[in-house]
């Protein structure tokens, strides 16, 4: 537990720093974690610029997918965004849910909440609300959301099982989520996995893809679907900070992979999870 709290404080400190940086600085980094690579502009983020509802001031270049594009948000929906940052996905969700719906962004970094609220005020969005809180213990009532989205956030959270349990609690019966995240196939080399900056930079906090999907089913969700998957390529100049040339060659030619996935799942309409062994298989 103490180790989990240390990791959360590390992430909080790093994302407070990110909130004070401009987008170009963040986009030239590994998930905003600092100077990253001379080989690529950004190894994580997808392009939001052509999506309706996009606002550049809210885009810090930190995502690893486009969950709102796959979320099936309808007019009048209540949407929760986990790890809402400066509000980018919230404002895109608001474009879909319209003035009759509501969007709630949750982030545990005060500087991010402040930045997001300023952006919402500038845009005149009075049905977009930002709440400071831990997504392992969401500051929302149960059965309130039609849709939950999140973008490259759960991989930063030590207790992912608790987050999926909270998503289940917050969703209305029949509601669903679409979440983009970083997962692994095979084990990262220890030098990468243990490094604090790589943790804050999204990679070392990731878990195995099968374990990730298993947590979703174990928390009672149904119709679990991988909507999109793409490999995350770590450039050699980043790997060289942690691995020898021989280790880099072995890592690149091995079975290990780092992937961005966008996953969809539903809370059963009856609102119940697994009722007996095997029903989530």
Contact 204, 239 (CB under 8 A): no
Residue 262: CA atoms inside 13 Å, Cβ hemisphere, count?
A: 19
Comparing CA positions, the residue from 116, 124, 123 lying closest to residue 15 is 116
Find the mean pLDDT for residues 44-70. 82
Residue 31's region, left for phi above 0, alpha for psi from -120 to 50, else beta, is left
CA 159/CA 3 separation, integer angstroms: 11
Per-residue pLDDT of 184-214, as tens digits, reads 888 877 777 766 556 545 566 788 999 999 9
pLDDT of residue 236: 82
CA 243/CA 70 separation, integer angstroms: 37
In the chain, where are the structural domains located?
2-266
pLDDT of residue 280: 44
Per-residue pLDDT of 81-108, as tens digits, reads 999 999 999 999 999 999 999 999 999 9
Across the chain, mean pLDDT equals 83
CA 251/CA 29 separation, integer angstroms: 22
pLDDT of residue 58: 85
pTM of the complete model: 0.83
Radius of gyration of the chain (CA): 18
- pLDDT value at 36 more than 80: no
Q: Whose structure tokens read 């060659």?
A: 249
Comparing CA positions, the residue from 188, 42, 86, 83 lying closest to residue 34 is 42
Task: State the CB neighbour count (10 A cutoff) for residue 245.
Answer: 10
Fold assignment, 2-266:
Rossmann fold (3.40.50)
- pLDDT value at 28 more than 50: no
- pLDDT value at 135 more than 80: yes
CA 93/CA 106 separation, integer angstroms: 14
Residue 94's SS3 state is helix
pLDDT of residue 25: 52
What angle do the packed helices 88-97 and 110-123 form, to 10 degrees?
40
């Amino acid at each position: 537990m103490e180790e989990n709290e240390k990791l959360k404080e590390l992430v909080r400190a790093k994302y407070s720093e990110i909130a004070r940086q401009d987008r170009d600085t963040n986009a030239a980094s590994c998930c905003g974690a600092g100077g990253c690579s001379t080989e690529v502009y950004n190894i994580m983020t997808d392009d939001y610029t052509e999506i309706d509802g996009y606002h550049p001031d809210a885009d810090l270049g930190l995502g690893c997918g486009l969950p709102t594009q796959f979320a099936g948000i309808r007019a009048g929906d209540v949407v929760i965004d986990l790890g809402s940052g400066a509000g980018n996905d919230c404002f895109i969700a608001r474009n879909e849910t319209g003035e009759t719906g509501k969007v709630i962004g949750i982030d545990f970094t005060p500087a991010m909440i402040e930045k997001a609220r300023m952006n919402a005020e500038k845009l005149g969005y009075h049905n977009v609300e930002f709440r400071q809180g831990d997504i392992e213990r969401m500051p929302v009532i149960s059965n309130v959301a039609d849709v939950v989205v999140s973008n490259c956030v759960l991989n930063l959270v030590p207790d992912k099982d608790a987050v999926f349990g909270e998503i289940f609690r917050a969703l209305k019966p029949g509601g669903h989520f679409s979440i983009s995240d970083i997962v692994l196939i095979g084990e990262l080399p220890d030098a990468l996995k243990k490094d604090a900056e790589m943790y804050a930079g999204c990679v070392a906090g990731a878990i195995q893809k099968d374990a990730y999907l298993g947590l979703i089913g174990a928390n009672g969700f149904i119709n679990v679907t991988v909507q999109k998957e793409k490999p995350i390529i770590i450039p050699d100049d980043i790997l060289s900070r942690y691995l020898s040339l021989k280790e880099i060659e072995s890592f690149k030619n091995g079975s290990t992979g780092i992937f961005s996935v966008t996953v969809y799942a539903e809370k059963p309409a009856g609102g119940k999870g697994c009722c007996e062994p095997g029903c989530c298989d």
